[in-house]
Amino acid sequence: MDQQQSNRSIAEADGRYVEVAVQAPLRRTYTYRLPDRLIGKVAPGSRVAVPFGRRKLVGFVLDTNSRALEGRTMKELAGVLESEPILPQELLSFLADAATYYHHPIGEVLRAAAPALPTEALKLLRQQGFLERGETLPGERVSTRRVLMVRPSADSPPQSRVGSNQRKILTLLEERGEISLDELRQHLKNPRHAVRSLEKKRIVATFEREAPIDPFFSEKVSADIPPRLNPAQSRAVSAIINNAPGSRSAYLLYGVTGSGKTEVYLRVIAEFRARGLGALVLVPEIALTPQLVSRFRARFGDAIAVLHSGLSIRERNRAWHCLRRGAVDLAVGARSALFAPVRKLGVIIVDEEHDASFKQEEGFRYHARDMALWRAHSANAVCVLGSATPSMESFYRAQQGKLQLLTLPERATPQPLPAVEIVDLARHRQGPSQHRLLTEPMLQALESCRQTRGQAILFLNRRGFSPSVRCVSCGEVAQCPACNVALVEHRREGVLRCHYCDFSKPLNTMCSECGGAVFESLGVGTERLEEALATRFPELRVARLDRDIAAGQGVESVLERLRRGEIDILVGTQMVTKGHDIPGVVLVGVMLADQSLAFPDFRASERTFQLLSQVAGRAGRGEKKGRVLIQSYQPQHPAIESARTHDYLSFYHNELRARREVGFPPFSRVVAVRVDAGGETEARKAAAELARVARNQRAVREGRVRLLGPAPAPISRLRGRYRFRLMLRAADRAALRVVTSALVERIDRGIAPARVILDVDPISML
């Protein structure tokens, strides 16, 4: 570990000194003396309180064999905050390596990994004056969500004349005894009103209850019978489980959508558990994959730690300690589940490994897929990356033999992959509906879907009514005052909103340029599409799934309704593209494929191909054959053409050639440096200074590391701050590290008033 100071010691290590990483943005660690009562009682990974300057901080013990520095009295450690070390040794050393790799302060890395402190520890801290009264550590506020429940009232009078909604509620109550308002919402619109009337008539009573501990466990799941593996699955499973000790143990499981990758994961996990080893499963967005959790529960029962952002501190701590003690040996979760303290880790699985959500985009910016490979390697565990559309990086690694490639070439069920048709938007300008994106072929497809009573998913990656509005008198597009992006019209809410900083103002506002009061909507967002479809197909049930919906009634309830066949057309953003497996969906429409191609990002093409293939994979998973329509202005584009033919390999080879020409990953590694400041000049100057430091490095002068920029970032102003960007790019990892370290050193000396963010292996180019 290069962050430790341990030279210049006088005495042999005698267990009196410990090395502590404090929770602060500092790239080094500190030595503390143990008070007598704690000698021999503090282990690496313990969370402790330490005096620090005039403050007191929380820190993590890294090492208990430290030595005092010559001629210095070391400060005494103030106390241990938990009875057991929160971080096991395996995790601790992995995290230390990760901190080094990402040039991120180790204390912050450990803080990001460990669950928040439990209340008792906080109390202790407060008693000892570590925190001001009323001050809380981030994430301390325990949220106990309460839900409103409905049940028949005890003295139910004869049920005279009740309305149809009220009748529905009573029928449901007869079936279930009691029901939550949330659940009622899935059956009827605005149930609150009907409940209130029933309550007035004293037919039902309402009461509050604490929300179920975990939404993933609210319904019972019955055990499943594992299917017979097909030959490709068998080969994959046996390759993974027969992995000889010491051999290469990282795999890329490349299998088309619906090819049975999940079944492979389940078998592999079962095998490792039978050997007494634990498993960790990472998925892109756990809230979107309740189905996956159900499949795990059906196979392994309820002793699974499902880690997700909805857990309260107490629940998270409970899950953490269950894993730590070995009471539970299987953890499933999104990105941050990478840090789950699974004991005797046997296998890490990263499902949909290409997904960008594995990259943490604030604070400790790590890539959970890359780190999964790393953690598995250092824990002597097996790692399996699975995808229907592997990332360029992973497939290239497989080609180089660094990952062992396992292929599932066909769907596991008799249904073939859906037929994909391209609609050239330049030729089909607009259908009779007045909506540019509702073309004649799209309308016809929806019509035949309606006739066969199939379900449809329409994907449009813009939420809101329209992505921008223009003043009809002066032509000015309404802009966010703090960011240089257009404000998005949210008509139902009656606001214009910035999707980057959340600024909003009323729709009936005046043009900031000319004072005009009439705006026209430019383009189509999900809200507008939903509305247009509801008008066009009044007899169909149209619903929407995007962040705006997710913030309100919940993703799960929409997906549940789709699954039950209570939605005919679902309109949505990226959220509809992820692994849902809904048999009734026969039509998938991509409204505007060009959106993601237009991103200022060297991965735009790759991202488009992945998105199109994933969303196409939602069609035809049931009895009926699926059909996919992709609308685009660039029908010849390789990303679109390869998605049409379901040809990952041709896409990969094409894209690889393009990447080689421009020298981007996987042929190099990138470090992005983002600089922002309140003034444009300060930001520009700071970026120029960092560029100067980089240019002074030999590796840059000799061309082994390329410096790109500095230049204004694609979003040149965000939340009122001006942004510049520079990038380092190199095939030579060691050289890149040296140059990055030089920048880090310069940044640490302070480059105020600018703020600098270092992003190693960046995913977002904004």
- The 474-503 site mask, x for binding Zn ion (CB under 5 A), equals ------x-xx--------------x-xx-x
Output the CA angle 35-40-44, nearest 5 degrees. Answer: 100
Residue 261: contacted member of ligand ADP, Zn ion, none (CB under 5 to 8 Å, by partner type): ligand ADP
Minimum distance of ligand ADP from residue 257's CB (angstroms) = 5
Q: Find residue 55's DSSP bridge partners.
A: 52
The one among 64, 66, 233, 360 contacting ligand ADP by CB under 6 A? 233
Minimum distance of Zn ion from residue 483's CB (angstroms) = 3
Choices 252-260, 354-362, 711-719, 748-756; region in contact with ligand ADP by CB under 6 A = 252-260
Q: Which among 81, 47, 78, 63 is positioned nearest to 15, based on CA atoms?
A: 63
| Widest CA span in the chain | 90
Minimum distance of Zn ion from residue 487's CB (angstroms) = 8
Nearer to ligand ADP among residue 340 and residue 412 (C-beta): 412
Please give, one letter per residue, the 3-state secondary structure of 528-545.
Answer: HHHHHHHHHCCCCCEEEE
Element at 656 (helix H, strand E): helix 648-662
Minimum distance of Zn ion from residue 498's CB (angstroms) = 3
Minimum distance of ligand ADP from residue 581's CB (angstroms) = 6
Please give, one letter per residue, the 3-state secondary structure of 126-172.
Answer: HHCCCCCCCCCCCCCCCCCCEEEEEEECCCCCCCCCCCHHHHHHHHH
Decide if residue 410 touches ligand ADP (CB under 6 A).
no
- Please spell the DSSP secondary structure of 546-566, one letter per residue: SHHHHHTT-HHHHHHHHHTT-
C-alpha span between 693 and 748 (Å, rounded): 13
Decide if residue 413 touches ligand ADP (CB under 6 A).
yes
Residue with tokens 């290239």: 396
The answer to whether the beta carbons of residues 599 and 715 sit under 8 Å apart is no
Minimum distance of ligand ADP from residue 413's CB (angstroms) = 5
Instruction: Count other Cβ atoms within 10 Å, centred on residue 585.
Output: 26
Which residue's CB comes closest to Zn ion?
A: 498
Instruction: Count other Cβ atoms within 10 Å, centred on residue 438.
Output: 23
Element at 440 (helix H, strand E): helix 440-451
26: amino acid identity, one letter: L
Decide if residue 257 touches ligand ADP (CB under 6 A).
yes
Choices 161-169, 255-263, 497-505, 654-662; region in contact with ligand ADP by CB under 6 A = 255-263
Residue 498: contacted member of ligand ADP, Zn ion, none (CB under 5 to 8 Å, by partner type): Zn ion
The one among 262, 455, 697, 716 contacting ligand ADP by CB under 6 A? 262
Q: Going by DSSP bridges, is the β-strand pair 79-80/404-408 parallel, antiparallel, or unpaired?
A: unpaired
Q: Which among 29, 222, 54 is positioned nearest to 108, based on CA atoms?
A: 29
Give per-residue burial for 351-371: e unless 16+ CB within 10 Å, then b: bbbbbebbbbeeebbbbbbbb
> Tokens at residue 217, please?
């466990």
> Tokens at residue 337, please?
């589940």
Decide if residue 289 touches ligand ADP (CB under 6 A).
no
Minimum distance of Zn ion from residue 482's CB (angstroms) = 4
Residue 523: contacted member of ligand ADP, Zn ion, none (CB under 5 to 8 Å, by partner type): none
* 3-state DSSP assignment of residue 272: helix
Minimum distance of ligand ADP from residue 261's CB (angstroms) = 3
Residue 677 burial (C-beta neighbours within 10 Å; 0-12, 13-18, 19+): buried
Give every strand in the sheet of 146-152, ordered side by side.
Answer: 179-180, 146-152, 204-210
Nearer to ligand ADP among residue 214 and residue 581 (C-beta): 581
Choices 258-266, 328-336, 450-458, 682-690; region in contact with ligand ADP by CB under 6 A = 258-266
Minimum distance of ligand ADP from residue 638's CB (angstroms) = 24
The answer to whether the beta carbons of residues 441 and 599 sit under 8 Å apart is no
C-alpha span between 241 and 625 (Å, rounded): 35
Q: Going by DSSP bridges, is the β-strand pair 721-730/627-632 parallel, antiparallel, or unpaired?
A: unpaired
Minimum distance of ligand ADP from residue 233's CB (angstroms) = 6
> Tokens at residue 334, please?
């999104």
Decide if residue 229 touches ligand ADP (CB under 6 A).
yes
Residue 262: contacted member of ligand ADP, Zn ion, none (CB under 5 to 8 Å, by partner type): ligand ADP
* 3-state DSSP assignment of residue 11: coil
Choices 260-268, 492-500, 542-550, 595-603; region in contact with ligand ADP by CB under 6 A = 260-268
Decide if residue 416 touches ligand ADP (CB under 6 A).
no
Nearer to Zn ion among residue 375 and residue 674 (C-beta): 674
Q: Find residue 116's DSSP bridge partners.
A: none
Minimum distance of ligand ADP from residue 583's CB (angstroms) = 9
Nearer to ligand ADP among residue 292 and residue 571 (C-beta): 292
Instruction: Count other Cβ atoms within 10 Å, centred on residue 639.
Output: 25
Nearer to Zn ion among residue 406 and residue 480 (C-beta): 480
Choices 251-259, 298-306, 670-678, 693-701; region in contact with ligand ADP by CB under 6 A = 251-259
Give me the helices (H) in 47-137, please. 89-101, 106-113, 119-127
Decide if residue 581 touches ligand ADP (CB under 6 A).
yes
Residue 570: contacted member of Zn ion, ligand ADP, none (CB under 5 to 8 Å, by partner type): none
The one among 35, 139, 212, 227 contacting ligand ADP by CB under 6 A? 227
Nearer to ligand ADP among residue 227 and residue 678 (C-beta): 227
Decide if residue 454 touches ligand ADP (CB under 6 A).
no
Choices 253-261, 605-613, 702-710, 713-721; region in contact with ligand ADP by CB under 6 A = 253-261
The answer to whether the beta carbons of residues 449 and 567 sit under 8 Å apart is no
Minimum distance of ligand ADP from residue 268's CB (angstroms) = 12
* Number of residues lying near Zn ion (CB under 5 A): 7
The one among 90, 263, 370, 655 contacting ligand ADP by CB under 6 A? 263
Decide if residue 332 touches ligand ADP (CB under 6 A).
no
Contact set with ligand ADP (CB under 6 A): 227-230, 233, 255, 257-263, 412-413, 581
Binding site for Zn ion (CB under 5 A): 480, 482-483, 498, 500-501, 503
